[in-house]
Structure 1
Amino acid sequence: MIAVILVTDEKSNVDAYLEKLKNKNSIFNDIAPLTKEYSIGQIREIWKETAIQSPLLRIYIFRNFHQSSLEAQNAFLKLMEEPPPNVQFILTTENLNLLLPTIVSRGKTVYLGRKQLMSSNKLTGDIEKIINSQDTGFLNQTNFTVKNKEDAMEIIYLLLSYFRKKLHEDTCSYIICKEIMLKLNLLQNNNLNPQLTLDHILIFIWKQYRMKS
């Protein structure tokens, strides 16, 4: 079965969607990260569990799947490529850009009471200027000036989406994605200055390519 990706920041939207799926011939398994994020070990345990066949439909709900390591997402991707019989995977996320593009392309995306997010293509030109810049003048670009946490997070999501698409062709992308996810988590859960957090990420990106050149 094709995995379903529910995009919403409201738990009630997810619960309402799942309620429509419930019947006596299905088994629901509500999954959450064992620590701060889903680990590759947790995904492998699900893999072993779903390898055991069942006459009933088993539905696995991975809540907030954006809270997962890149290794965990890659491990889950293999489950999507070879889905076990009679198993339905449902992922929830508050932002589609936080998932690997390959996961998104192999799943069915359903937006629950939330508009679609803009594409990372909007910032492609600006990101490439950072990569090729000789100095940090890019910090003065208006596209990278934010007024609040929400504005900063939107740009950070787009940066993450851009570099995740380049994971298989650019050696800098992996460490950049790890740093972006770290700073994104800190911004979400702490009282950080949004502009300074974004500037830190931009400078980190720039330094990675300066060291490479």
Structure 2
Amino acid sequence: MATHVILFAILASAISQAFASDPSALQDFCVADKSLQVLVNGFVCKDAKLATPDDFFFSGLDKSGNTSNKFGSSVTPVNVNQISGLNTNGISLARIDFAPYGVNPPHTHPRATEILTVLEGSLYVGFVTSNPENRLYSKVLNKGDVFVFPKGLIHFQFNNGTGNAMAIATLSSQNPGVITIGNAVFGSKLPISDDILAKAFQADKKTIDWIQAQF
């Protein structure tokens, strides 16, 4: 009996992991009530009778983002923070604009798989698998090409052309989150000790201090 209980517990754990995702909706919709200061896993629903078409609407995705920054890229997100009606629906998207040789630097989405569609220009994209393999899967994408970045894995996009590029990313979470590796490691508040970073990256402290200063 004890063996059966253990096996059942292992199976239940495996099933729960296999189906882990944003919480499923238990009604037609759950428009986020952002006026309430209540901490839950997502947003509290407002009264459905008070919902309006604007709760399900966003305008401006046709406009290019400002790429005049050090990365030469711009992300225009459309998640639950922009569309309250996305709450509990487990999906979002973003427009990504690239100047020539612009990069969306290595980052992860801790809560979402991403599928990227190139609509303009050409992009070199890739993701890296987890330890210990750390294998890079990369490909050059042209207009109309699609590429998937598995949930939680570090990935990037780089405009390898001389013209502008643009892509649409769809993500499997209403609020996928983003962790840009450089910002998180070298620009954390409070900063990670340069002793730790020097040992982790096998570099001297002066190099680490210089990199931290860039963030």
Which TM-score applies when normalising by structure 2? 0.24
- The structure carrying a bigger helix percent of its residues is 1
Which fold has the larger relative contact order, with Cα–Cα distance below 8 Å and residues 6 or more apart in sequence?
A: 1
* Larger gyration radius, structure 1 or structure 2: 2
TM-score by length of 1: 0.24
Normalized per residue, the structure richer in strand is: 2
